[in-house]
Each structure stands twice: as C-alpha cells, then as structure tokens.
Structure 1
Amino acid sequence: MVIEILQVAPHVAAFHFTGQLTGEDYDTCIGAVETKLSLNPRIGIFTDLTGLTGMSAEAMAKDVRYGLGKLGELKRFARSAMVTEREWLARVSSFTGMLVPGIELQTFEPAERDAAMAWVSRPIAPH
C-alpha cells in the first residue's frame, strides 16, 4: 500500500491511496485526520481512491470502530470529496451521504481531481 498524504489547505485531510489498505495504513490516515481536527473546529476530507485495490479486514474493522467513535462529532466533518473510477464506490458514498446529514459528500471522476480538491478546500463556516 502506498499512502500519499497530500499537502493542502490547513482545514483539509487529503490522501491518495494505491494498493491494499492495511490496518497500519489506516492508523496513519486516522493520525493525520486527528491532527487536522486538533487544529480546526471543522475539516474536510479528500480521498483519491484511484489505484486502491482493497482493504484488509483489520482496516475495515478499524474504519467501523473509528466511524462509530466519531458519531458524536460528525458536525466537525463539513465535507468529503472522493475521487474514484469505480461506480459502486460512488454509489456507496451517495448512500452514506443520506445517512449522515450535515456532511456534504461528493464523488468525482479521476479527470475531476482538481475540481474535487477545490470543492473540499473551500472555506468552512463554523457550525
């Protein structure tokens, strides 16, 4: 797995994943997200999944645990941009958006990567 932590706006945690996401990789990402949350009242998340081939069971379990642990803090996540060439991931993201009101979720094609970054990097109003 290769995780590229992208240098972007101070209120955005941004990643490009390629290969198989492991539990250790997931810990790296959560560390970056938590750093952004410690510095900002609300953040955006940018994930470029172009080249991601899958997630280990450990990474999936950590994702579920982290998500459940953040239920009381969802208002701190203003928006999320996902770049993917996989239609099923875009559909899952759209469905998730209906379950978590207050977080703007948008998916983008790989050719729209710059537009996704611009969208997620817009200033975030305090909640």
Structure 2
Amino acid sequence: MLDLISHPADHVVAMKAGGVVTAHELQRAIDAIEVAKRAHPKVSLVVEIDALRFMTLTALLRDIGYGLTQLGDLEHYHRAAVVTDQEWVKQLAHLEERLFKAVEIRTFPKRDHVAAMAWAGELAKGDHESPEEDGYHGA
C-alpha cells in the first residue's frame, strides 16, 4: 500500500507506504512528484514507512527506472524526510544521503511525524519566491 497524504505546503509531496507496494500505487506517487516539480523550483518529500514488506516486481522496476531518470534532475529536490521505525529503512536513507548530496535527507522516528512534516515544509530563502515577492519587478 502506498497512499498520498496531505501536506500544508504545495511544494511537498507526502506519502505513506506499508505492506506491499504495487506499480499502480507507485505511479500515482511519481505523477504527484512530477506535478509538484512543474509548479515549484524545489520539491520536498515526506515518506512515512510502516511495516513495509516489499514492492511487486513491476513496482520495483518502475521505482528503479524513475530513480535513474532523476539522477540528472536532483536540483529540483530540496529535502526528503523519511519517517520510520524500521532500522533497515533508516540505513537505506543514510546511504542515499551520502550518494545524493544535492538532496538533504533526514530520518525521523514515527513519534516525530509532525516534526518531519514541518522540516520538509521549510524552504531556503528564495526557493519559492516569485520575482515580485523578492522585490524584483523586471527590467
């Protein structure tokens, strides 16, 4: 199961995964990420993982394929909050943080879900300001 969950910030795509993730569920998450990337210069993610067992083979292949397409597009990502109490997921997130230095990845225990949502919603100054908001009004 992989479901999108709401987040108050438009630039954040939040989801919850557990049990078995299917390719259809994964595609909904990918589509949400792509919509956010078209609307915002920087996108953050919140992924809450609870008792994740595995992905179907089709979902795994789609996840790997999408991940590979994103390697040249990491400048569109700001932060990724991984909310889990599963140790293997935490270790995987730490490995990804070392591999993909352009994206700030942090793990949070499930009890700190609210803190993870707040952290993902924070923006570096200027990341989502329109030219009018930062005082620039054109040439």
TM-score under structure 2 length normalisation:
0.85
Which amino acid in the other structure matches residue 108 of structure 1?
F
Alpha-carbon contact 1:22-1:58 (below 8 Å) kept: yes
Distance 2:111 2:38 in 1: 32
Instruction: Give runs of aligned pairs for residues 1-127 of structure 1, distance below 5 A.
Output: 1-125=1-125, 126=127
3-state SS in 1 of match to 2:50: coil
Distance 1:101 1:17 in 2: 24
Counting aligned pairs with the same residue, the percent is 29
Judging changes above 3 Å, is the alpha-carbon distance between structure 1 residues 105 and 19 closer, same or farther for their aligned structure 2 residues? same
Distance 2:116 2:72 in 1: 26
3-state SS in 1 of match to 2:17: strand
Pairwise CA RMSD: 1.6
Larger displacement relative to structure 2 (106-115 or 50-59): 50-59
TM-superposed CA distance for 1:37, in Å, is: 0.5
Q: Say which one has the larger Rg.
A: 2
Which amino acid in the other structure matches residue 94 of structure 1?
H
Gaps of 5+ in 1: none
Gaps of 5+ in 2: 128-139
TM-superposed CA distance for 1:60, in Å, is: 1.1
TM-superposed CA distance for 1:108, in Å, is: 0.6
TM-score under structure 1 length normalisation:
0.92
Distance 2:76 2:24 in 1: 24
Cα deviations by residue, 1:52-71 (Å, 9 ceiling, x for unpaired): 33211111111110011111
Larger displacement relative to structure 2 (75-84 or 117-126): 117-126
Cα deviations by residue, 1:21-61 (Å, 9 ceiling, x for unpaired): 01111101001111111100111000011243321111111
